[in-house]
Amino acid sequence: MADQTLDAKGLQCPLPVLRARKALKTVPPGSTLTVEATDPSAPKDFAAFCEATGNRLASSVEEGGVFRFVIERNA
């Protein structure tokens, strides 16, 4: 499903978003980055990050205390 995956579990704000920003630079436009995080503020942080950067938040789910975000890089 994802072209790249980033494990940000155990990291607190703002590190998951900062690491995702860096990882997205290596993702080709139209491809995806899946981020797994445990920070409770991650859902709102990633929604705001995608809105600010123009990337698409393709999905955001929580399972067993782990949030999984699929971000599609804009062109």
Give tens-digit pLDDT for 21-72.
999 999 999 999 999 999 999 999 999 999 999 999 999 999 999 999 999 9
Residue extents of the structural domains in the chain = 4-31+38-73
CATH number of 4-31+38-73, picked from 3.20.20.150, 3.30.110.40, 1.25.60.10, 1.20.1200.10: 3.30.110.40
Q: Which of 13, 19, 31, 41 is catalytic?
A: 13
Q: What is the pTM of this model?
A: 0.93
Is 13 in the active site?
yes
The length of the chain, given as a count of residues: 75
Residues contacting residue 10 through CB under 8 Å, at least 6 positions apart: 38
DSSP letter for each residue of 11-63: --TTHHHHHHHHHHTTSPTT-EEEEEE--TTHHHHHHHHHHHHT-EEEEEEEE
